[in-house]
Amino acid sequence: MFDAIVIGSGMSGGIAAKELCERGLKTLVLERGRKLEHGGESYTDWMQPWDLPNAGMVPEEELARDYPVQSQCYAMTSATQQYWVKDSEHPYTTPEDKPFSWIRGYHLGGRSIMWGRQSYRLSPMDFEANARDGHGSDWPIRYDDLAPWYDHIEKFIGVAGSREGLAQLPDGEFLPPFDLNDAEVMFKQAIEGKFPGRKVIPGRVANLSKAQPHHEALGRSSCQVRSFCERGCSYGAYHSSLSSSLPAAEQTGNLTIVTDAIVHSIVYDPKTGKATGVRVIDAHSKAGKTYEAKVIFGCASTIGTAQILLNSKSEAMPNGLANSSDMVGRNLMDHLYALSVAGILPKGPDSYYFGRRPTGLYIPRYRNVSEDAPFLRGYGYQGGAMRTGGSRATAGAIGADLKAKARKLGPWMVFISGFGEMLPNPENRVTLNANKVDQWGIPTVHVSCALGENEHKMAEQIITDGKAMIEAAGGMVVSAASEPGVPGLGIHEMGTACMGKDPRRSVLNKYNQAHDVPNLFITDGSAMASSGCQNPSLTYMALSARAAHHAAEFLKAGTI
């Protein structure tokens, strides 16, 4: 028997494992995907453009056959294809009128290998939002409860950023920021001068602008500014489970990892009221096995965790494990995504920049902060500016003509893309297909999720504001989205086992502990009671570290 089992090895699972191991708990990590070595053969960050199969493109017939959903992700190329699941092998269903793009990677480290690394804290107003406007369950914690754990995670993973003193985007424990380039500084001056209450800041990113001794002790080094991050980084310059949290866990001697382990369900003992173990199926042999532990952490990702809980039916819990509230699978959220506006800056500065930074600019939320809006909650923008021309303008040229065109720079282009908050809605949910099972005999999931009136109003304003800001900076808008992307494409899905004060309206308490099962903790995106508009991975990690601390204390005290 193990002290703890962690289901999933991605963003939250890696941190949960590290924290549990460091507290002396013999911890088993179960990963449904294959083993992946940090810096191993799967990493393609050393490949030059001419080394990539098909110049980085995946053949159309292969995309249509095996990757119709995954290929919608911006980061999928022939250099990263090995990190994405084949949709043909991992089916799920949606209503015809409610498409949902479930972007997945099944391997050790999960999507922490390919994540965008933008790292922002939720603010006090985010933790109070549900109570304030009545949508979703009231968070059982507030910002001050999580702030020390944000500190803890930022120091460990390394987050580059600037201190800005904004109430809606709290500062953190930052490494030096990746500075704005000259055109972004010009954009910042224009926006902040013409729109009081709006700020343009360097994007906060989990890349090591300056590696610290504790990063180097894990074999990590400073960012090389190459922007090959989604290929895996052999330098360990950005945080992932493979480069950071799992190696830290391994150093304790308390970690065991089992890959190719498909979790079927969690075993529940009605006599004790506790979970006793996890049933798994070997991905290749299809053989079954049960691992036992004193405490279990669900970190299988939002939809994956809902699937496991709903499939963990028993006579005592006929609706699924920890589901007396009927809230497991409900309140599925993603962020409004793909709401981009791009423009040319004809009078941009006559300069260039070094390298390819792993981040750009960020415009923190201002609607319903300093500017009222005809909708609830708010949004922020991610974006940047780049100089056109140069090597991008050499198509068809050869010889002296090619050299001349490569030296000539064009105008600057600036783009900003809005990320908006989605309200929790119990009708946006994950259920099981009783009659459609996967290759391991486990019921597949059915995802029914749609944007509501509030989200559509917000999306319209995001585009309107984006155009106005680019024009205010002297830009000429050349493209603008007309509607948000399909839910799921933000890859920020969350909410299917939400935290809350009321066990009748939520699944987890203030410690990420299931109301119904005291030794079950869930710390991935499932736990989120609301989404905010900030990228959520930093919050998942802070919740995971906090829950692991309390789980270890509860075990020591004998209360679980």
Residues 294 and 436 placed together within one structural domain of the fold: yes
DSSP 479: E
Spatial neighbors of 396 by CB under 8 A, at least 6 apart, are none
Q: Sign of dihedral through CA atoms 245, 150, 140, 524?
A: negative
What type of residue is 39? G
> What's the confidence (pLDDT) of residue 449?
98
Separation of alpha carbons 174 and 221, rounded Å: 16
Pairing of strands 476-480, 409-420: unpaired
Listed residues 439, 467, 486: the one ending a domain: 486
CATH of the domain at 35: 3.50.50.60
Residues 146 and 167 placed together within one structural domain of the fold: no
Residues 189 and 237 placed together within one structural domain of the fold: no
What type of residue is 226? R
Q: Which residues of the chain have pLDDT under 50?
A: none
From first CA to last CA, the distance across the chain in angstroms is 16
Residues 134 and 172 placed together within one structural domain of the fold: no
Residues 265 and 385 placed together within one structural domain of the fold: no
Residues 189 and 271 placed together within one structural domain of the fold: no
Domain that holds residue 250: 2-160+207-334+423-450+489-557
Listed residues 469, 486, 503: the one ending a domain: 486
From the CB of residue 63, how many other CB atoms can be counted at a distance below 10 Å?
A: 17
What type of residue is 351? S
Among candidate residues 187, 251, 266, the one with its CA nearest the CA of residue 472: 187
Consecutive H or E run containing 461: helix 453-472
Residues 241 and 301 placed together within one structural domain of the fold: yes
β-sheet bridge partners, residue 267: 277
Please, are residues 241 and 271 in contact by the beta-carbon 8 Å criterion?
Answer: no
Output the DSSP codes for 219-268. Answer: T-----S---GGG--TT--B--IIIIIHHHHHTTT-EEEE-SEEEEEEEE
Residues 329 and 375 placed together within one structural domain of the fold: no
Number of domains in the chain: 2
Q: Read off the pLDDT of residues 435-449 as tens digits, 9 standing for 90 and up.
A: 999 999 999 999 999
- Token readout for 393 is 């303008």
Residues 382 and 393 placed together within one structural domain of the fold: yes
> What's the confidence (pLDDT) of residue 391?
65
β-sheet bridge partners, residue 361: 202, 383
> Distances in Å between the alpha carbon of 297 and those of 258, 266, 548?
15, 11, 9
Residues 365 and 257 placed together within one structural domain of the fold: no
Angle among Cα 206, 212, 216 to the nearest 5 degrees reads: 95
Residues 148 and 85 placed together within one structural domain of the fold: yes
Token pair 């290759």 is found at: 439
> Distances in Å between the alpha carbon of 283 and those of 258, 289, 298, 364?
11, 12, 19, 43
Residues 258 and 297 placed together within one structural domain of the fold: yes
